[in-house]
């Protein structure tokens, strides 16, 4: 049990070491786009702030389905790709 607790503690303190911009679209970039639209860096920060273990995803595509913003309103996303090619370069990819 102790290892689980220490794992959670280190996760809570996780800060990115570096950041770069996305160049080509992928499933991961799509999900990062959705987190960033809702006002979060990525899934790590979302889970820290909202204290959730799982993010609701579409079973068919694996894309994020619904996110809660910091002001507690919800963003709902489609099954299909939402991040257009012109928006890919706006997505920030954080490295831990």
Residues 31-61 have pLDDT tens digits of 999 999 999 999 999 999 999 999 999 999 9
Does 61 reside within a domain?
yes
Q: How far apart are CA 96 and CA 78, in angstroms?
A: 28
Which range of residues forms the domain containing residue 91? 16-95
Q: How far apart are CA 64 and CA 79, in angstroms?
A: 8
Quickly state the pLDDT bin for 6 (edges 50, 70, 90). very low
Please tell me the predicted confidence (pLDDT) of residue 10.
45
User: What's the total number of domains in the chain?
Assistant: 1
Does 30 reside within a domain?
yes
Q: Tell me the backbone φ, ψ of residue 92, rounded to 5 degrees.
A: -95, 130
pTM score of the predicted model? 0.84
Please tell me the predicted confidence (pLDDT) of residue 11.
55
Give the lowest-confidence range in 1-5, 69-73, 80-84. Answer: 1-5
């Amino acid at each position: 049990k102790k290892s689980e607790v220490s794992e959670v503690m280190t996760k809570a303190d996780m800060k990115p070491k570096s950041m770069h911009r996305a160049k080509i679209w992928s499933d991961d970039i799509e999900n990062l786009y959705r987190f960033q639209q809702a006002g979060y860096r990525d899934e790590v920060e979302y889970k820290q702030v909202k204290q959730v273990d799982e993010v609701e995803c579409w079973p068919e595509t694996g894309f994020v389905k619904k996110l809660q913003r910091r002001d507690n309103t919800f963003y709902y996303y489609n099954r299909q790709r939402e991040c257009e090619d012109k928006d890919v370069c706006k997505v920030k990819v954080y490295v831990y």
